[in-house]
Amino acid sequence: MSEKKVIGHWLDNSIHIGSSGRFGDVTNPATGEVTAQVAFADEADAARVIAAAKAAAPGWASASLTTRTKVLFRFRELLNERKEELAAIITAEHGKVLSDALGEVSRGLEVVEFACGMPHLLKGSHSEGVSTGVDLHSKRQPLGVVGIISPFNFPAMVPMWFYPIAIGAGNTVVVKPSEKDPSAVLWTAELWKEAGLPDGVFNVLQGDKVAVDALLDSPDVKSISFVGSTPIARYVFERASQAGKRVQALGGAKNHMLVLPDADLDLAADAAVNAGYGSAGERCMAISVVVAVGPIADDLVDRIASRTKTLRIGDGTRGTDMGPLVTLAHRDRVASFVEAGDAAGAKLVIDGRESPVDGEDHGFWLGPTLFDHVTPDMSIYTEEIFGPVLSVVRAETYDEAVELINANPYGNGVAIFTNNGGAARKFEVDVEVGMIGINVPIPVPMAYYSFGGWKNSLFGDTHAHGVEGIHFFTRGKVITSRWADPAVSPTGGLELAFPTHD
């Protein structure tokens, strides 16, 4: 272990390895090589990190909006200047191709830029003379210490959905990154320090379930923001809620792409390939089911297949289209779904297990896989696979297709491809999903709107970033005040009746 780089925690603007003596392997998915060891926190390590955030909270909450936004603007400039460096770290630990990693950082930057408008976003309201001599005004104040638990698939972007807004609003932050790719968040911690963020405002707690439970249970952590699988999202929501915290827990997905007979099939096929296989399908917004309506199915499947065969699979640093999966265990799990789909009777149009690879033999490879004639009882339809497996389901009518989508327990994202404006407008109303794309396969909103799904894709009421993010990381106060006119003699007296507004 001494020969490997050790990735530690971050508190008070410096790295700490901790005292637990527990470590996990960090691998390069393109080679299978263990490149580093990441410290796994014990309860004492977690307590120290949380204590650093708690100690910094009063000072940062009282810092002026001008001070906070200066740091945010500086962080934004540093990140924009050095985003290629961060993208390389993501590719080395996650495996996604460099262009995709760079896109991830750029999308995260959008939230930083949104948070730079915090002086406007935190403005309260004022009403004068609501009653005789009485005024009302409102304000929003920070929560204190907030916890962020991040998944492996977007190690830079997902934490950035939360911490720029939390910090801009005056909170201190503890981020628990995935143990599979922990370096991206630690790199951004160094950048926050360079941007002038005071000690204790941004902290990183590395580890496994011990670290997660410490954040969920600590009375000093006032909120939890989580992105991950639905079973863990439910666990996080229930445990943190029982501890009295406010929670936004974003869970899994089974995103559908509905293609109507009038759609541009070339556009739809391009979209299915891009959204189904980008980042090796390890996206909560990936399209995993194409619903072909009416007589177009054979033609659409042929077009998707012909495009899929052109994709280059291999090391993300070599200019390929799709990299490896994040771990060997996850690769094997996804491959087991391919076996199950074939055994269940779906037509295996393209078998990703046979894809040629431009990469090392020990990388965690699985190429793009395409199934046709998938039915809703098959595991490749019912389960969130989180890999490059695209299923085509056939429906006779629009109504049948919408009924299928709405019956699914997930409700994260959905897309419709059509040239019929009336059908698209009807779809917006009919479908029970939180984010909808019209001829857009991955309908992730801009940072000034909020991100989140319905049903088993979200636990809690608040979506990420946008106005909902501002409200999540602040508490509202309404102040009613009366100041006597010095030119008028005060009148007193007792009045037990409910006051009226005269």
Q: State the catalytic residues.
A: 284
Count of alpha carbons within 13 angstroms of residue 335, beta-carbon side: 16
Q: Give the largest Cα separation in the chain, rounded.
A: 91
Cα–Cα distance measured from residue 103 to residue 184, given in angstroms and rounded to the nearest whole number: 14
**Beta bridge pairs of residue 224:** 147, 247
Q: 250 CB contacts (<8 Å, ≥6 apart)?
A: 226, 227, 228, 233, 284, 451, 452, 453, 457, 458, 463, 464
Cα–Cα distance measured from residue 174 to residue 42, given in angstroms and rounded to the nearest whole number: 15
Cα–Cα distance measured from residue 276 to residue 139, given in angstroms and rounded to the nearest whole number: 44
Cα–Cα distance measured from residue 436 to residue 416, given in angstroms and rounded to the nearest whole number: 8
Provide the residue type at 264 as one letter. D
- Distances 473 to 7, 164, 400, 468 between C-alpha atoms, Å: 29, 11, 41, 9
* Chain centroid offset of residue 420 CA: 32
